[in-house]
Structure 1
Amino acid sequence: MDLLLDRLRAAGFDAVTAQAAHGGVVALAGLATLRDGSRVFAKTLRAGADDLFEVEAEGLRALRVAGVTTPEVLAVTPRLLVLEPLPPRRDDDERFWEELARDVARLHTTTRGDRFGWHRDGWLGRLRQDNTWHSDGHAFLAQRRILRWLPEPLVEAAFDAAERRALERLCAALPDLLPPRPPVLTHGDLWRENVLSGRAGGAALIDPAVSYSWAEADLSMLWCSPRPPASDRFFEVYADAAGLEAGWRDRLPLFHLRELLSSIAHDDYAAECAEAVREIIAPFA
């Protein structure tokens, strides 16, 4: 926390103490108390990824412009991101998850684009997210979100040649597995730890990896990751607000391949994630 405090002070924040935050895989983060008693949430990096915080701040602003509650960005430099602090989410409150569902449904139904991708590459954890524009959603999902991970050393080591071919065959079959859908602005990393409460109530989102992508890519992160039982209401309300085509439960694991492969590349529950990938690609072996 000494490094975080030093960089906060260098950026003009009269920080006195900082309490470490846990759960991230990239930055050193903490809740800092300033001399006047106010608090800020801050992240810093020891080295590398000079545009990571700039990309994150831009993603937060893009979501806010689209009507999603995000923390206010107070400062951003290559080595420091300072945000307003937000309360934790309310896991056992069904109304909280209902409000989140309406927010995400509004995001997905009011931001339709004409291409998949983003005007710059982003980050997923400490590895690059390839956001190269693409007019074909199936090709974008295959090339930029799934096969992109195969050359990563830990992913390459996790699967044999036959398993990699099965994954490639699955990607080739995506036009038969997924109904075509328009690109919409997505959070990109919408699992439970990136959901907090807003100051005025309701839900707020942090740590985005934004792009114009499939709406179901966002849903897959919540559906396929561990989450509290009350969050079942999210999917019921989202279906009413935005619509979900039949078979959506079967499709979401296909989108979740990106997260599983990314986790392997980051050595985060790698063995468990590799088994989950094998289960999804088994029909294509």
Structure 2
Amino acid sequence: MNTLWKSLPSDVVPDVVDAEPLSGGAVNDVWRLTLADGRAYVLKGSVEAPPDLFPLEAAGLRALHERAGIRTPQVFEVSAHHVLMEALHPRPDTDEFWEAAGRTFATLHTVRGDRFGWDTDGWLGLLPQENGWADDGHEFFAEHRIRRYLREPKVRRALEPADLAGLERICERLPQLVPTSPSVLNHGDLWRANIVADPAGEPVFLDPAVCWMWAESDLSMMYCCDPPPDRFFRAYEEISPLPDGWRDRMPLLHLREHLSVLAHFGTYGDTVARVRDVVRTFS
């Protein structure tokens, strides 16, 4: 990583005096670079990343900001191996912050699309996120968020034939399980670790995997993965009310994340058990 930041243009990051490792998940290295004049940047990179991963991440951040007006990090440089962004602040764990984050997230979901998908495939971790266009959200979720992962070798090794058959039944039953909803702009990978704060303490959204999809599918990550206080969801509904029963559907719509974990890491923690719980409940 030292070589990586030394390869950046000297007029962008001259005189790095400190490099602090940050949490970057299981895929990338992330560092906070401090310059001699006190300026700070965040450098996220990996020599193993697919060549379009960071350019697509930067494009996703730009889409969230330009289309929905929500705060995302300013990007200073992007290449096949890194993205250089503004350094931000840790997220304050206060009721006021979570309410602001809920309202901001809801604002994102007021931006409507006319189809489901995106104009290019993206990445979720180190595996492609398929975003092929569909006119029907149930078809899109079945094909590109469930069946897409059932082809992955690690998923097929982790799950038994009965599990796979149950997931296929869920795909067929989606129109009965999830109410028809419009396509809206999705962050695509939003959980609490992907929310930080700007200098004024307002929410900033990181690491998107953007697409046009249901609001509920986007919300499921926040609800099921280390959820924030309920004030977040109440504030969200002030801006963008959800259909009755949405909380009951969150585990179903979170299937994408469980299957992605299995596709990356194979049998991991209680992920297989969680998939089986969803199959028992919804198939």
Could you state the TM-score of these two structures normalised by the residue count of structure 2? Answer: 0.95
Q: Is the 8 A contact 2:188 2:218 kept in 1?
A: yes
Query: What's the CA shift string for 1:244-284, capped at 9, x where partnerless?
Result: 11100111111100001111112187241111000000146
Match of 1:118?
Answer: 118
Partners of 1:254 and 1:27 lie apart in 2 by 28
Match of 1:69?
Answer: 71
Match of 1:78?
Answer: 80
- Partner SS, residue 90 of structure 2: coil
Q: Is the 8 A contact 2:103 2:238 kept in 1?
A: no
Tell me which amino acid in the other structure corresponds to 1:158. Answer: A
Q: Is the 8 A contact 2:154 2:266 kept in 1?
A: no
Match of 2:276?
Answer: 278
Match of 1:174?
Answer: 174
CA 29–268 in structure 1, closer or farther in 2 if over 3 Å, else same: farther
Tell me which amino acid in the other structure corresponds to 2:119. Answer: H
Tell me which amino acid in the other structure corresponds to 2:237. Answer: A
Q: How does 1:100-249 map to 2 (within 5 A)?
A: 100-109=101-110, 111-228=111-228, 231-249=229-247
Greater shift, 77-86 or 16-25, is seen at 16-25
Q: Is the 8 A contact 2:252 2:282 kept in 1?
A: no
Tell me which amino acid in the other structure corresponds to 1:21. Answer: L
Q: Is the 8 A contact 2:49 2:126 kept in 1?
A: no
Q: Is the 8 A contact 2:18 2:34 kept in 1?
A: yes
Match of 1:87?
Answer: 89
Tell me which amino acid in the other structure corresponds to 1:102. Answer: R
Q: Is the 8 A contact 2:158 2:267 kept in 1?
A: no
Partners of 1:119 and 1:101 lie apart in 2 by 27
Q: Is the 8 A contact 2:31 2:44 kept in 1?
A: yes
CA 261–10 in structure 1, closer or farther in 2 if over 3 Å, else same: farther
CA 152–10 in structure 1, closer or farther in 2 if over 3 Å, else same: farther
Query: What's the CA shift string for 1:113-156, capped at 9, x where partnerless?
Result: 11001111111011110011111100000110111111112111
Matched, 1:31 2:32: yes
Tell me which amino acid in the other structure corresponds to 1:249. Answer: R
Partners of 1:8 and 1:31 lie apart in 2 by 14
State the percentage of identical aligned residues.
46
Gaps of 5+ in 2: none
CA 103–283 in structure 1, closer or farther in 2 if over 3 Å, else same: closer
Aligned residues: 281
Could you state the TM-score of these two structures normalised by the residue count of structure 1? Answer: 0.94
Q: Report deviation, 1:35.
A: 2.9
Partners of 2:75 and 2:105 lie apart in 1 by 21
Q: Report deviation, 1:43.
A: 1.1
- Partner SS, residue 13 of structure 1: coil
CA 3–212 in structure 1, closer or farther in 2 if over 3 Å, else same: same
Q: Report deviation, 1:27.
A: 1.4
Q: Report deviation, 1:208.
A: 0.3
Q: Report deviation, 1:11.
A: 8.0
Q: Is the 8 A contact 1:4 1:28 kept in 2?
A: no
Tell me which amino acid in the other structure corresponds to 1:83. Answer: M
- Partner SS, residue 276 of structure 1: helix
Matched, 1:50 2:48: no
Query: What's the CA shift string for 1:185-225, capped at 9, x where partnerless?
Result: 01000101001112332211000000001101121001101
Partners of 2:49 and 2:211 lie apart in 1 by 23
Q: Report deviation, 1:23.
A: 4.0
Partners of 1:7 and 1:142 lie apart in 2 by 43
Partners of 2:61 and 2:161 lie apart in 1 by 39
Tell me which amino acid in the other structure corresponds to 1:128. Answer: P
Q: Is the 8 A contact 1:146 1:257 kept in 2?
A: yes
Q: Is the 8 A contact 2:65 2:72 kept in 1?
A: yes
